Chains A and B, each alone.
Chain A
Amino acid sequence: MRYAINKTLCVMALLVIAGCGDKQSAFAGLGPVSSRITLLIWIMFIGAALITVLISVLMLISITGPAGWRHKLAGEKSIVWGGIVFPVVTLTALLIYGFLILKAGATLVHAEDPVHISVVGEQWWWRVIYRHDDGHTTESANELRIPTGRSVEIKLSTADVIHSFWIPAYAGKIDMIPGRINTLHFSADKPGIATGQCAEYCGGAHALMSFYTVAMAPSDYEAWVAKERANARQDFQSEGEQLFLSSGCGGCHTIRGSQADGKIGPDLTHVGNRLSLGAGILPNTTESFAKWISQHQTIKPENLMPPFDIFSENELQSLAAYLNGLE
């Protein structure tokens, strides 16, 4: 019996600890918005713990305490102070504090020169559109690159059903609602990688819809933007590119600078540069590309890319090498 209880406790503890990784944790507090949310969490948690202890002590007294104490507890004075005044004051204070936290991103709204990014939730991946200062846009997918120390403004919308955009380490979650554009503001304190997740059930592959956020030092970020804005390197001799174009991949995917200009799936112009494939579920390697192309319906069931198990092993290797080389 004791063994069973110990085991259960261990499993529960492990589950709790699993949530403590920095990458996707609301406790990480990598930016000012999430830091304040983290503080709120701790205040709520500690306050609730203290109140629970207090109530337990009072209950113990009311059951087993001396008659005098019990009489006092049952008195009108105790009820008014403990039962009415205390909760009203505590809850009001917390409410006001909570409202202030909710507006934590508000100072960032008016920040000068924010980074403008649009993210569109799609079944089951994230279309990321960078709106550059000169009005041009470039598309990427399943990865957000942001500079540190600068306000980030993200316009959130959806192409199909309700999704919810959540990077716990940077900000609270905000729903992506059909027909609406919601705006999220946050900023990153220091360079680092965090992960985000769709936080609203959106159909079959919902659980496999995550993404990476990469915060970079401003100079690194500028260098990255310059590279991202450039078209893909053209390599007409490459068998991989020939295969990509002749097999119809360009019907859904864009590779800027080539004939491939499909808008249905993720833009692959610089896909080799990203951290993951399939919306945060495979590491970005040549093997992953080959695996994804030939078995994506097994890796991520129901995803909307048509099954493409038509390539020979050689073709698959050429195609994977070409895609991985799109840096």
Chain B
Amino acid sequence: MAEPIKSRLRKLLPWALGLFAGGIVLVLAIAYSGIFNVAASAGHPELLEWLLTLGKSRSVIVNSKPVDAPELNLTELVPLGAAHFQGGCATCHGVPGQSVNPVYDQMLPQPPDLQIHAPMWKREQLFWMVRHGIQFTGMPAWSGDKRDDEVWAVVAFLEALPSMKPEDYRRYARGNAQDNIETQNYAAREFADKGRAKINITACNRCHDTEDAQPTSPYVPRLGGQAKAYLKRALHEYHNDLRQSGFMEPIAGELDDEHINRLTDYYASLTVPVNNPAQYPSSPKLELGRQLAENGDRSLKIPACLSCHGVNKRPDYPRLAGQPEQYLRQQLQVLRQGIRAKTSYGLLMTTIARRLTEQQAEAAAAFFASQSLAERVDHKAGEGLRQ
């Protein structure tokens, strides 16, 4: 019986091939003819809309399956996520209490109001969309290559967003920036010249420390008292895509040399508060961190951290004393993953970071967080090696 079926199939083969070729020709003809209307104003035919939506949500659901969602500490992450949302996402998605500019409302598909839409997705699905973006929708991928760790701050924000009141959002988005967007006192002419005061993406104080405020999140480094040469190097690396960060690259990208000079001058000259030692009671972890910082680990070939990050070191090496523990831990992880190996400085530290055990990395972060930078501030940093 097998024989007749096989021969019948063989007879059908030319037909199948013909149909296939015809299909290709038809698709090409439609594309070339311009019959298909790509105008955003035209909208999608209902059937196509249904198909695209199905494809999109299935793709997000299926592709996000391998993502392992961590516990998220909302207090620590939401301020950082909110500030990034304000700088990178709000234009299209809108913010609580203010409707989207009609320009972006006319996109196809329309960027969803995330106060309503975010709760429809699971944590790992939100992560996947923010990390990878979505084709055909205008949703971009995360601009810090391989910086998955940063994306979680935005996910935390998206989870907090639905219940966020407009004033809460503004408080988060503004961070330490003093300009109060609600009570601008511009005179009418001034207003006419400058327009409504907005929180600019290059406003560092949305996240970073000021004379009298801490960074808004422990995942944000303290810039006050940092050496100017290091700050300059970091901003140039972000600007030139040599150091990866979805938060900092969009900001540094808008800064020119003159901006960078002024900002780094400002931060290098900030006075830094002294840590209260009582906040950091002695613990085995801190002791291990101190050991590592002062003596290194000879068997693992780890030099003492302080031989580069101590007093009177190169001004283009970062000062670590007084940096938030979470930030230091995160940077060590990023270094260990080789994400910062594009610059010679990064490569140098990558080699050393990879020699640390997990426990040592955490201890070193805890130790430097417990230290105070105050007595080490060198206001002339960058001008010479000697104080």
**Chain A residues proximal to chain B, CB less than 8 Å:** 239, 242-243, 245-252, 262-264, 304, 306-310
Contact = CB atoms under 8 A, between A and B. Distances in A.
The 4 A-B residue pairs with the shortest CB-CB distance in the complex, in nearest-first order: A251-B303, A251-B307, A248-B308, A306-B351
Given A252-B303, A262-B303, A246 B352 contact: no
B122 to A, nearest CB: 42
B351 A250 contact: no
A306 B308 contact: no
Contact of B347 (A242, A246, A251, A307): A307
A264 B298 contact: yes
Contacts of A248: 303, 307-308, 313-314, 317
25 contacts: A239-B385, A242-B385, A242-B386, A243-B314, A246-B314, A247-B308, A247-B313, A248-B308, A248-B317, A250-B307, A251-B296, A251-B304, A251-B307, A252-B303, A262-B303, A263-B298, A264-B296, A264-B301, A304-B301, A306-B349, A307-B344, A307-B347, A308-B344, A309-B347, A310-B316
A244 to B, nearest CB: 11
B302 to A, nearest CB: 8
A130 B310 CA distance: 32
Identify the interface centre among A239, A242, A250, A251: most chain B CB within 10 Å of its CB: A251
A306 B348 contact: yes
Contacts of B20: none
B234 to A, nearest CB: 14
Nearest to A306: B351
Interface string B309-329: 000111011000000000000
B266 interface: no
Nearest to B314: A246
B345 interface: yes
Contacts of B313: 246-248
B304 A307 contact: no
Contacts of B352: 306
Contacts of A250: 307
B348 A310 contact: yes
Nearest to A245: B312
Interface of B: 296, 298, 301-304, 307-308, 312-314, 316-317, 344-345, 347-349, 351-352, 385-386
Contacts of A242: 385-386
A308 B352 CA distance: 12
Given A242-B386, A264-B298, A310 B308 contact: no
Contacts of A263: 298
Nearest to B313: A246
B334 to A, nearest CB: 17
B303 A310 contact: no
B295 to A, nearest CB: 9
Given A262-B303, A309-B344, A310-B316, 10 more contacts: A248-B313, A248-B314, A249-B307, A250-B307, A251-B307, A262-B307, A304-B301, A307-B347, A308-B344, A310-B348
B228 to A, nearest CB: 15
Identify the interface centre among B307, B308, B316, B386: most chain A CB within 10 Å of its CB: B307
A76 B349 CA distance: 78
Contacts of B351: 306-307
Given A248-B313, A251-B308, A264-B298, A308 B348 contact: yes
Contacts, number: 59
A246 B347 CA distance: 18
Contacts of A246: 312-314, 385
Nearest to B302: A264
A309 B349 CA distance: 12
Nearest to B303: A251
B385 A243 contact: yes
Contacts of A251: 296, 303-304, 307-308
Nearest to B312: A246
A263 B301 CA distance: 9
A242 B386 CA distance: 8
Contacts of B314: 243, 246-248
Contact of B345 (A245, A252, A262, A310): A310
Contacts of A306: 347-349, 351-352
A309 B341 CA distance: 12
Contacts of A243: 314, 385
Nearest to B351: A306
A251 B301 CA distance: 10
A325 to B, nearest CB: 19
A242 to B, nearest CB: 5
B356 to A, nearest CB: 13
Identify the interface centre among A248, A249, A307: most chain B CB within 10 Å of its CB: A248
A296 B28 CA distance: 57
Nearest to A305: B351
Contacts of B348: 306-310
Nearest to A252: B303
A307 B303 CA distance: 14
Contacts of A309: 344, 347-348
A249 B304 CA distance: 10
Nearest to B305: A251
A304 B351 CA distance: 9
A163 B316 CA distance: 39
A159 to B, nearest CB: 9
Identify the interface centre among A239, A262, A263, A306: most chain B CB within 10 Å of its CB: A306
A204 to B, nearest CB: 14
Nearest to A262: B303
Contacts of B349: 306
A303 B385 CA distance: 29
A264 B314 CA distance: 21
Nearest to B296: A251
A251 B312 CA distance: 14
A242 B315 CA distance: 12
A309 B351 CA distance: 13
B103 to A, nearest CB: 46
A252 B386 CA distance: 22
Contacts of A308: 344, 348
Contacts of A239: 385
